[in-house]
Amino acid sequence: MRNPRNIMIVLLAVLLCFSVGGNVYLLNHLGDTIQYTVVQEPYYHEYQESVPYGGPGESKGELRVLYVGNSITQHAPCDYWWGDWGMAASSREKDYVHQLGEMLSGEYDVSYSLSQLSQWEIMGHDRHEALQLLDGEMKNEFDLVVVQLGENIPQGDTTFSTDFRDLIAYVQSLQEVKIYVLANFWADEEVDCAKQAACDGDSVIWVSLDGALECTVGKGALVEGLDGEQHTIDHDGVAKHPGDQGMTAIAQRLYDAMTAA
């Protein structure tokens, strides 16, 4: 039986989150759950970047990518994280989004945007309500959508499989686009099975991270902040995020999947 006191703490944290504009994250890693709350002013980030073609000969054209993810894709600055890119990457250009952009620029003129959807993950019910957060971003035209979600799903969640299928269907209803679904960075067989079941191998592609897991950054690592200074990671949740090596592995798996055809 769950401890009533712990349940009350979680409920109070969620209420605090919605009252001050913060985010509550539940990080599940190897059976351990770390709860941490980001209390901050509402954070808006117009994240649209481009990488011009840099390969030999002529570009294959423009490639427009949308990343829908959690803190591994992008996290706002807070008291224990100092950038506004993929958490635990040592600098902006080292997260998987930017590394993949550079890889793809060898063939295309690349442009990409982000949609931070960790709110969808932590909702215990009615996740469909959070999907409207995608509407504004997907007014733009994309060729590919990368879905990097699942690490913050609470243990024992009974609706995730249905909810993930709903998310994929919602994206497809907004735009006819090829979708790449990333496996969890912190291995979770149940969550990954649910995500993989939503893939059809054609318009929705599964991207495995087998053999690329556990490239975590660890405590004591130095990372750059928006202030241009170096900061030391001393937060348990941040320390279990992928460091530069893990980010490279994620980018490489996505690149291999995108260029396989």
What's the domain range around 98? 45-258
> Is residue 122 a part of any domain in this protein?
yes
In this prediction, residue 20 carries a pLDDT of 33
Q: How far apart are the first and last CA of the chain?
A: 50
pLDDT tens digits, 171-187:
999 999 999 999 999 88
> Is residue 253 a part of any domain in this protein?
yes
Q: At 180, list the tokens.
A: 């790449």
Could you tell me the CATH number of the domain that includes residue 184? 3.40.50.1110
In this prediction, residue 4 carries a pLDDT of 43
Mean pLDDT per segment of 10 residues, for the chain of length 261 residues?
42 36 36 36 56 93 96 95 96 97 96 93 90 91 97 92 97 96 93 97 94 82 96 96 95 95 61
In this prediction, residue 253 carries a pLDDT of 96
> Is residue 210 a part of any domain in this protein?
yes
Global confidence as pTM: 0.83
Domains: count for the chain: 1
> Is residue 218 a part of any domain in this protein?
yes
CA-wise closest residue to 119 among 188, 46, 21, 45: 21
> Is residue 93 a part of any domain in this protein?
yes
CA-wise closest residue to 85 among 123, 96, 60: 96
> Is residue 136 a part of any domain in this protein?
yes
> Is residue 38 a part of any domain in this protein?
no
In this prediction, residue 212 carries a pLDDT of 67
CB distance 146 to 114 below 8 Å: no
